[in-house]
Chains A and B, each alone.
Chain A
């Protein structure tokens, strides 16, 4: 069995030897031209003149294109794959993110106004700088919390409001009643900071038009190439059969590389116009500005407790950021992933939430690793933490009293979602043992007596991974079917190529999908190769996002492999003159049970293609495809505990320890799993302590244009991690596996925040917004000190 083993990754050597094949590395027979863009320097402005005259004649320039040219060409706009609906089911006030400014108004810094295509990158940049654009600045607002204030400038005045939609979920009356009768009510204002994925590989696109054959090719840093092909039917009007989308090696995605960014159709447009392949490689500044941003929810939460600290109900009111326009998937956050997970790992009888999506003059928001759940977990867990302190109950003890007991699974949450399996108390007990909780509390008390500030943070939550059943996701708003696809092709020599609709950009599918296939096919893992990321080679796919690939594409591999085995057994049974049921397949051989009569897998494969002696109703060939629609999402769960030290002199936070206990069901490769958890944790820790897509509140200017200004964690900012796991089987797929890609990211912001609050509670500190920088911590301590005087 390969599943369950820490098989070393089969894709590693090419990366380690510098032979990775990213979009920027690709060469073609013809010289590749370069694109450069003119972008709005203003948060909100009328564009009164775009003068390209000087640029057109500059050295090496092949094309100069503006919004007027786009309109004249009759091209279209982006299509939301998860379009916004309001509560009534009607379309909300949707304004799709434009590819290039066509209506004379720019609504956020970075919006594209013009494009230059030139022979090389320097010439393209020089010509872009020679384009003269006149702007008339308009009042702007980049702050989500202010979006609906009466005097706030409107991003889209035609709608008469900055509100995109209102959506309500849960049990309103029961939640109000719980708050009314509660022994104790905790209220916290819990905004989540605007962050961005900041993959180390910048976004990069290359377009090519084969005019002779009327075929188009796009190379893209994207996680879902078949969805890119769909996007192009709307943007450039290219039919799906005419376009090949290749997503080769991609240097990190994290959800951010799911979208039809403006530069993607523009680069292909540039190729069509210039009759040359055209590439654009994002600078870090362009990416920090133009990659979708994430989170940025402004939330007020109230939680009702009884005398013993049992949670009676929880109520949230949220302003959810859209930015200046709707990005293609953003409504999946406000309308699906935020509210569905509000019960976390707790048995909460009444939950109610209201979300108002709002426009601001900021970069569009969309899904980034966790998408809605980091917000939700942070918000609920901040209320629990404060509630425990206010009621004088140990925070772990209060959580333990509220965890969903194992015998309640499948568990129907008050918000409507059913968790299929889990055992939160077991996770909590393992976490308690792993961190030696009582010793930590004793250490905290001893240090506090010395004037040193140590805090213990924790969270306990469920994730909704593996989207998902097509019908369920359609009901939650998705316009695309959330299945996935795999083909298993057995070659006549018995070796195997697996084609999968998922995309690996760090997840290690060449290893894990091969583990699954090798077990099902009873073959050596080295006899299998994987193909992903090419719409001309892989039949169909929905792509890798939302911790979904294992329970969709991975299961399609599983299912297609089983179909191959079933067909091969019929051929083998014919050759061995026995019944198919009498055959065992192991170690590359079909054996008649109880005998030594056998055939190699390769012999059967060869006969499947080349033998005329076959069952009359058995078609030639040995290749099967599965479109796998899972029976359910998967619901991984986890408990995290951390220890923070806050320096009383500098207010700097040291994250000393971090433990995570995960239940991800069946583990395919524990080494890969741990890698996913480690990386996710550090992204969540970054959100908690240092990351922020900051705007100047007066001018709307973007302030985080380089890695000097946008702080992602360095090696020295984080500790090594202590991981443990607990197993309950997922019920929605045959392997019993649950998604594992997001657990770290979604749990860490709340866990670290609770640790810092726990360290400072005795000083009167009750809440600090993220990122919890030394300056904010210092101010919170000062404010608390003044309040206590």
Chain B
């Protein structure tokens, strides 16, 4: 199959690559860029483990082809926070025990930041509604909701 080329920004760095045109963004990130923090949990864009930011908004990287992203700005979980300090949303997940096995966690953090970017002080109902595209099987959501509320408070403060 003919390869296609694409140039985009990932975590602040410009990346040019040739890809099989059927390559999903999530596989491009994981396999070509070795950014394995973005996960595949369902293949059908229900679980949200593959959530990344595209031009600042949370999207599911399993539902995009890499070749669609010419010129785009993508941020993955590895691009959140500094080399020594975690992002306030990451810290909030740790302090509120918002993760257990950790597999859905990168997607939850990316979605949490997105929620906080759009709601300064999201209440419980808002957070639960906003999480309609992110599944967790370990935490029962209780502490994820608390984490996102706390992270949003920290981000707006």
Contacts and interface: CB of A to CB of B under 8 A. Distances in A.
Interface of A: 8-9, 11-20, 22, 24-25, 27, 122, 197-202, 249-254, 281, 283-285, 505-508, 671-672, 674-675, 677-683, 706-708, 712-716, 718, 720-721, 744
Contacts of A285: 43
Contacts of A283: 43
A712 B143 contact: no
Contacts of A744: 140
Contacts of A11: 102
Interface in B47-94: 47, 49, 76-78, 80-81, 86, 90, 93-94
Given A17-B77, A706-B46, A715-B127, A9 B97 contact: yes
Contact of A251 (B38, B103, B131, B140): B103
A406 B78 CA distance: 53
Nearest to B139: A679
Contacts of A675: 97, 100, 138-140, 143
B81 to A, nearest CB: 7
Given A678-B142, A720-B145, A201 B135 contact: no
B109 A252 contact: no
B142 A720 contact: yes
B156 interface: no
Given A17-B77, A721-B140, A706 B43 contact: yes
Interface string B33-48: 0111111111110110
B137 A712 contact: yes
Contacts of B77: 16-18
Contact of A199 (B35, B101, B106): B101
A680 B106 CA distance: 21
Given A249-B102, A707-B135, A16 B90 contact: yes
Contact of B132 (A251, A674, A716): A716
The 3 closest A-B pairs by CB, nearest first: A18-B37, A251-B103, A15-B102
A284 B136 CA distance: 15
Given A16-B93, A284-B44, A199 B137 contact: yes
B101 A252 contact: yes
Given A8-B95, A16-B102, A202-B40, 17 more contacts: A12-B94, A12-B102, A16-B105, A22-B39, A22-B103, A200-B49, A200-B101, A200-B103, A200-B137, A252-B138, A253-B101, A506-B101, A672-B97, A679-B100, A707-B46, A708-B44, A708-B46
Contacts of B47: 200, 284, 707
A713 B144 CA distance: 14
Nearest to B34: A27
Contacts of B41: 200-202, 251, 284
B100 to A, nearest CB: 3
Of B22, B80, B104, B129, chain A has the most CB atoms within 10 Å of the CB of B104
Interface of B: 20, 22, 30, 34-44, 46-47, 49, 76-78, 80-81, 86, 90, 93-95, 97, 99-106, 109, 124, 127-129, 131-132, 134-145
A254 B137 contact: yes
Of A250, A675, A712, chain B has the most CB atoms within 10 Å of the CB of A675
B99 A16 contact: yes
Contacts of A252: 100-101, 103, 137-138
B137 A17 contact: no
A683 B97 contact: no
B136 A200 contact: yes
Contacts of A14: 102
Of B99, B134, B142, B144, chain A has the most CB atoms within 10 Å of the CB of B142
Contacts of A22: 36, 39, 103
Of A16, A506, A708, A716, chain B has the most CB atoms within 10 Å of the CB of A16
13 contacts: A8-B95, A15-B99, A16-B93, A16-B102, A18-B38, A18-B78, A20-B36, A27-B34, A122-B20, A284-B42, A674-B97, A714-B135, A720-B145
